[in-house]
Amino acid sequence: MNDTPSLDIVLKVIRTLLAPGGCPWDQKQTPASLCDYVLEEGFELVEAIRKGLSGRPDQADQDEVREELGDVLFLLLFITELYERAGTFSLKDVLEANAAKMIRRHPHVFEDTVYENQQELLRNWERIKREEKSGQGQTPARVFESLPRGLPPLLRAYRIHSKAARVGFTWETDQDMEGQLAREWQEWEEAKASGDQAAMEREFGDYLFTLVELGRRHGIKANAALDLAVNTFLTRFQSMEDMSRTQEKDLADMELAEMNLLWDEAKRRTGPGGEPPKG
């Protein structure tokens, strides 16, 4: 399938918006002013994808993913057009540089390199990436140098553990790792017993950071797992509210025992992820 005509249509829309007689708001934008919109649309895309993967995704879910993908792509093309108009680089430069980078980082696909396992493959990926950042013949970039400071903490913690593991800095076995998690919990208990709020916050953070690694070692991304748990809770709590309203009651006026009964019923009515049961 040739996507070039469709890409040309979007680029024509962007250039029309920026041309004389176009949109005054669009014409005032800069790459910096559009950053927050990129983040917002990125979150909307993630939400749409995760919604489409849970429960029983229908066509509306897939339509939402398609729409949000379009919004993100539009913004990226818009920003690229602004840089091109400033004489910095063009869309052609962006695409060709990215293709070259992907080819360079996949020598096992585009060259004759053979890796014994996925761990070796990922370590070589990190090595190539650090060499790119530092330049040929220079000291390789630091392991975490390319990690954005603005990542949400759970996602940042996952990426830190992932990058550390790729250079071999992690627990040798899952058993060793779980032992460390137990020690972190003990340190949390000791901080809690001391009543030192600063120590409690520090040890709680250490426990969370280590727990993220436990999930990573089992193929679980903490950020996505917590998002699922939050959405499940909200879905079930909304079900509780609906049931309380049919009883002409307000949750705030109920005893905890009453709310627990509603919660148990909400869990019965939903699946493990909070979605309606199938069938």
The whole-angstrom separation of Cα 215 and Cα 239 is 29
Number of domains in the chain: 4
Could you tell me the two tokens for 112? Answer: 């004759």
Is 212 contained in some domain? yes
Do residues 42 and 88 both lie within one domain?
Answer: yes
Q: What is the pLDDT of residues 138-182, one digit of tens each?
A: 666 788 887 888 888 999 999 999 989 988 899 999 999 999 999
The dihedral of CA 216, 220, 221, 225: what is its sign? negative
Within 10 angstroms of residue 253's Cβ, the number of other Cβ atoms is: 8
Q: Which domain holds residue 214?
A: 153-220
Residue 185 resides in a domain: yes
Q: How far apart are the first and last CA of the chain?
A: 37
Is residue 81 assigned to a domain?
yes
Residue 11 sits in the same domain as residue 70 = yes
Residue 277: its pLDDT value, please? 46
Question: 234-255 pLDDT, tens per residue?
Answer: 999 999 999 999 999 999 999 9
pLDDT of residue 117: 87
Residue 101 inside a domain? The answer is no
* Domain CATH for 44: 1.10.287.1080
Handedness of CA 176, 182, 187, 190 (dihedral sign): negative
Residue 275 in domain = no
- Residues 100-148: tens digit of each pLDDT: 999 999 999 999 899 888 888 888 888 888 777 766 556 667 888 878 8
Going by pLDDT thresholds of 50, 70 and 90, the confidence category of residue 276 is low
| Per-residue pLDDT at 103 | 93
User: 């940042």: which residue's tokens?
Assistant: 156
Q: 158 with 120, same domain?
A: no
For residue range 46-89, list pLDDT tens digits in order.
888 887 665 555 666 788 999 999 999 999 999 999 999 999 99
